[in-house]
Chains A and B, each alone.
Chain A
Amino acid sequence: MSNRSTSTWTVKVGLAKMLNGGVIMDVTTADEAKIAADAGAQAVMALERVPADIRAHGGVARMSDPKIIEAIQKAVSIPVMAKCRIGHFVEAQILESLGVDFIDESEVLTPADDIHHVDKHPFTTPFVCGCRDLGEALRRISEGAALIRTKGEAGTGDIVEAVRHMRTLIKDIACVSALRPDELWSQAKSLGAPVELLRTVAEKKKLPVPNFSAGGIATPADAALMMQLGAEAVFVGSGIFKSDSPAKRARAIVEATAAYDDPDTVARCSFDLGEPMTSISVDNLMEENKLAIRGQ
């Protein structure tokens, strides 16, 4: 049909909008993907190693082996996302060729380019990118990201950075919404973001794409906290498969995310989950060991 078109903005953002109110789980194997899907995950994120292991073992963290991604795609019917390194547009091309549903250009992997992000517009596959504030969010959207997640600090199990980034983003949006139209120009300059996008944010009082939360969610209460602060959905990385009983914790986080404003349900699903992941306080991290500072 002549009027049929793929990779339009509506089609890209449309998938992000269908992922409202659920949990996206990091998985490294097809078996983990099945556990995640059985626990009610709305999507899985394929990566080579979960952030806690990347942090512990160091070295260069790259895109997953395509063989593993393909096995995960065969294993589950929910969307499969996968991570590429910041600026590594060839890893992104490979992920598109594999037919993944979303590409996460992620600070959790070792950046391939210290200046440029991937130009995401020419891709058919939609992209998600991390941010710590409104300026970062709008720079990623202007590069073509169809979904934003606040970064938090992946692999720590400490929610403090996720909270900081979400509160900062929401405060930034509120500030922009209070500006006079003639003040948006200088605000755009100081945020390093296009004024057209800033004008949209000021009018709608929200980002032009959905905003999820990531980086540090380890418990059902953490997930519900991020949802109450304004996240539309949550990414859980090491929090599930680095905990004592992944399936049980995964189910509990899914349930708490769906019923985030119902304390009785969040309380009930917080019972008896065993030990959470081994956590690191972000306060004890050296600044240069923070993943969130990558790719600004």
Chain B
Amino acid sequence: MGNNRIGILAVQGGFDLHVECIQSLACSHRLVRNPEDLNNIDALIVPGGESTTMQWIMKKNGLFPAIKTALLNNSLPCFGTCAGLILAATTIYNDHEDSHNDEGFGYAPMCVTRNAYGTQVDSFETDLNIPHIQEKFRAVFIRAPRVLSHGKEIKVLARCEKDPVLLQYKRSLFTTFHPELSNSLAVHKYWLDLIGNR
């Protein structure tokens, strides 16, 4: 159905869940593990997982600068969920002693903080109202980050209480929750439409 080839970053994290979503929407995908894998894709999903681990592996094999360049050129629209949102942000706050690990792609003008709701005991699921996408979307927040501030170019598509949780920047989409853990494909479908897939 779709004619874009969707790359899914597969160095660590919940990438296989995104593979299932993209397959359910009848799109072709390719796992991205090395810089060469970027040559044959039109858009990139950066999944949930541990952003510090993903950063480390991508820096080791040259994938990190390659993705960063493609994002900053505006040649690679992306969809970042949870850790993917953290990696895309221009500023990452971290109050842990390992904060020197933090350098993301510096792409989307937003300031984010990790594990903003607490540890796993504070992880939760809740119904979100996402105007024009889905009235009642069951969203799963796992050790979720929080967007503290963002540039005017960013459009907030949904909030949980006061926090922006679904954000659009150009043809890229970011969530602090995990749409890949929900039963609904509405958010994935919205992004595919946004990048002109159908």
Q: Quick check: B118 and A99 within 8 Å, CB to CB?
A: yes
Which residues of chain A come closer than 8 Å to B94, judged between CB atoms? 77
In whole angstroms, what is the CA distance A21 to B53 when docked?
10
Q: Quick check: A77 and B121 within 8 Å, CB to CB?
A: no
Q: Quick check: B181 and A14 within 8 Å, CB to CB?
A: yes
Which residues of chain A come closer than 8 Å to B115, judged between CB atoms? 77
Q: Quick check: A77 and B142 within 8 Å, CB to CB?
A: no
Look across to chain B and name the residue whose beta carbon is closest to the beta carbon of A233: B12
Binds A, one of B14-22, B36-44, B146-154, B167-175: B14-22
Binds A, one of B65-73, B95-103, B104-112, B189-197: B95-103
In whole angstroms, what is the CA distance A14 to B49 when docked?
10
Q: Quick check: A102 and B98 within 8 Å, CB to CB?
A: no
Is A125 on the interface with B (CB-CB < 8 A)? yes
In whole angstroms, what is the CA distance A18 to B124 when docked?
15
Q: Quick check: B56 and A40 within 8 Å, CB to CB?
A: yes
Q: Quick check: A258 and B57 within 8 Å, CB to CB?
A: yes
Q: Quick check: B12 and A11 within 8 Å, CB to CB?
A: no
- One digit per residue, 1 when the CB lies within 8 angstroms of any chain B CB and 0 when it does not, for chain A 62-97 equals 000000000001111111100000000000000010
In whole angstroms, what is the CA distance A74 to B124 when docked?
22
Known A20-B14, A42-B12; contact A101-B126, beta-carbon cutoff 8 A: no
Query: How far, in Å, is B104 (CB) from chain A's closest CB?
Result: 13
Report which of B60, B121, B178 forms a contact with A125, defined as CB distance below 8 A: B121
Is A19 on the interface with B (CB-CB < 8 A)? yes
Known A34-B97, A42-B50; contact A5-B56, beta-carbon cutoff 8 A: no
Q: Quick check: B11 and A11 within 8 Å, CB to CB?
A: no
Look across to chain A and name the residue whose beta carbon is closest to the beta carbon of B59: A40
Is B77 on the interface with A (CB-CB < 8 A)? no
Which residues of chain B come closer than 8 Å to A258, judged between CB atoms? 11-12, 33, 57
Query: How far, in Å, is B16 (CB) from chain A's closest CB?
Result: 6
Query: How far, in Å, is A62 (CB) from chain B's closest CB?
Result: 22
Q: Quick check: B97 and A254 within 8 Å, CB to CB?
A: no
- One digit per residue, 1 when the CB lies within 8 angstroms of any chain B CB and 0 when it does not, for chain A 34-64 equals 1001111111000000000000000000000
Q: Quick check: B140 and A37 within 8 Å, CB to CB?
A: no
Which residues of chain B come closer than 8 Å to A11, judged between CB atoms? 123-125, 140, 142
In whole angstroms, what is the CA distance A76 to B143 when docked?
14
- One digit per residue, 1 when the CB lies within 8 angstroms of any chain A CB and 0 when it does not, for chain B 71-97 equals 000000000001100000000001011
Which residues of chain B come closer than 8 Å to A228, judged between CB atoms? none
Report the 6 A-B pairs with minimum CB-CB distance, sorted nearest first: A40-B56, A101-B120, A4-B126, A77-B96, A99-B119, A42-B50
Q: Would you mind naming 26 contact pairs between A and B with Cβ atoms under 8 Å apart?
A: A1-B161, A5-B126, A6-B122, A6-B124, A14-B181, A15-B142, A17-B181, A18-B13, A18-B82, A18-B83, A19-B50, A20-B15, A22-B12, A34-B97, A38-B98, A39-B56, A40-B53, A41-B53, A42-B12, A42-B53, A43-B50, A75-B97, A79-B143, A99-B118, A100-B120, A101-B143
Seen from chain B, the residues whose Cβ lies within 8 Å of a Cβ on chain A are 10-17, 33, 48-50, 52-53, 56-57, 60-61, 82-83, 94, 96-99, 101, 114-115, 118-127, 140, 142-143, 160-161, 178, 181
